[in-house]
Structure 1
Amino acid sequence: MAAVDEFLGKVLVVDDDEVIRQLIAVNLTLEGFQVETALDGQDCLDRVPDVRPDVITLDVMMPRLDGWTTAARLRGGDGTGHIKIVLITARAQEEDKRRGMEIGVDAYLTKPFDPAELIQVVRDLAPKKD
């Protein structure tokens, strides 16, 4: 676990399931990340300018705006194309993974996921500190 005074970066956790959203947020907070949450893709896009995350964990199946569309808008947006995106979804088909990679996501984890694996993926994607 990271030292309390070590800042690892900002993560925006996006999932419509409160239990999963809080599980991810707690694990990343304990690891030393500054964590904000969003309820769905539209909420994510609305919050990104204020939060300015380094990494976004993004569910795929959500109301209002799904993860595919959200990721594509982030990749194509002014000032958001650099944000690292981790899709976290129950959709484990190869075509789903391929679709994510075509959009340009940086990592793809399937539910149920191992919290330690998630932490490692986010650590690997977060900006490196000197």
Structure 2
Amino acid sequence: MDEARAKVLICDDDPLLLELIQFRLQARGYDVVTAEDGHEALAKAQSERPDLVVLDAMMPRADGFEVLARIKGDPALSATPVIMLTARKGQSDIVSALETGADDYLVKPFIPEELLARLSRLITRKGGGR
């Protein structure tokens, strides 16, 4: 499958940020699914089987680190690339996320084109999506 048709799950509790990322990804041809809290993120990861997850660390109902651990601990989802996109920039947060299985870590504020480049690289590495 073509990289541009890959499905991306964006998880963030900021509706404006969700809208911005969704707009940018859809403009590039990606299919986009969104979630506004950790429980919704897990449910959609399990039901939608995205090709990649963009995950905020600080969300209600389950933080991004818990969601990351659950995704990487689920045999059906463990190969799904995850990019942490968060305001948390402490060394322990970054190291913890990478040790838990995050494939990349980007700190807010971020450059949207950088996110798109990292996302494209990971999807290409995964095998172009579906």
TM-score of the aligned structures, taking structure 1 as reference length:
0.91
Please report how far the alpha carbon of residue 57 of structure 1 lies from its aligned counterpart in structure 2 after TM superposition.
0.2
SS at match of 2:60: coil
**Fraction of identical pairs, as percent:** 38
CA RMSD of aligned residues (A): 1.4
CA contact (8 A) 1:21 1:37 kept: yes
CA contact (8 A) 2:5 2:29 kept: yes
Moved over 6 A (4+): none
Residue 106 of structure 1: which of 103, 124, 130 is its match? 103
Q: Quick check: 1:62 aligned with 2:59?
A: yes
Question: What's 2:93 paired with?
Answer: 96
Residue 30 of structure 1: which of 20, 27, 32 is its match? 27
CA distance in structure 2 between the partners assigned to 1:80 and 1:52 by the alignment? 7
Q: Which amino acid aligns with 1:100?
A: A
Question: What's 2:120 paired with?
Answer: 123
**Count of aligned pairs between the two proteins:** 125
Unaligned runs of 5+ in 2: none
Question: What's 2:9 paired with?
Answer: 12
CA distance in structure 2 between the partners assigned to 1:114 and 1:100 by the alignment? 20
Of Structure 1 and Structure 2, the greater helix share is in 2
Give the direction of change, closer, same or farther, for the CA distance of 1:28–1:76 in structure 2 (3 Å limit): same
CA distance in structure 1 between the partners assigned to 2:57 and 2:97 by the alignment? 10
CA distance in structure 2 between the partners assigned to 1:96 and 1:123 by the alignment? 24
Please report how far the alpha carbon of residue 41 of structure 1 lies from its aligned counterpart in structure 2 after TM superposition.
1.3
